[in-house]
Amino acid sequence: MTRNTDPAYRLDDATGQLFFTSSSARTIVGDIDLALVWTTDEDNNACLHKHGRKEFIEQKAALIRTIDDSTKTFVIPWEAIRHPVAGPKIIDEVNKCLSISGRVGKIEAFLQALSEEHDIEVFPRATADETVEMAP
């Protein structure tokens, strides 16, 4: 039996909770807003640093921001994650970002398009205490 060792989120239909699996560990993440933090280099290549609970990611982003002003944070609300059509697409894209670090640089455009298609809200954050709503 082959194990998939790529870290991945999944929404459990039976419990309605978000799970995260990495190697052989499986964690119940719960019904939370999910956040990502990344930086870009001078060529605008992205590098994913952390993902997970919004509060934890905002703390990490604040630390990273002290040494790298290209730090970006994106918060995906629980309502978008549990959306019956958009939710699986969001989780799939987040999982792709976990597997391919540079892909996170395109997540804003991906989520903007999804936001418009499904009338959901997602939030890019310039700083830990600033929320900017994307136009639907």
What pLDDT, on a 0 to 100 scale, did the predictor assign at position 120? 84
**What residue spans define the domains of the chain?**
32-125
- Spatial distance between the Cα atoms of 99 and 113, rounded to a whole number of angstroms: 22
pLDDT profile of the chain (136 residues), mean per 10: 69 91 86 93 94 93 95 91 93 95 91 88 58 38
Task: Look up tokens 């002003």; give the residue.
Answer: 69
What pLDDT, on a 0 to 100 scale, did the predictor assign at position 7? 84
Contact of 53 with 73, CB cutoff 8 Å: no
Task: Look up tokens 């398009």; give the residue.
Answer: 113
What pLDDT, on a 0 to 100 scale, did the predictor assign at position 20? 94
- Spatial distance between the Cα atoms of 51 and 20, rounded to a whole number of angstroms: 11
- Token pair of 46 as six digits: 């992205």
What pLDDT, on a 0 to 100 scale, did the predictor assign at position 125? 56
Strand pairing report for 46-53 and 34-40:
antiparallel
Categorise residue 43: left if φ over 0, alpha if ψ from -120 to 50, beta otherwise: alpha
What pLDDT, on a 0 to 100 scale, did the predictor assign at position 127? 47
Other CB atoms within a 10 A radius of the CB of residue 1 amount to: 2
Helix (H, G, I), strand (E, B) or coil at 96: helix
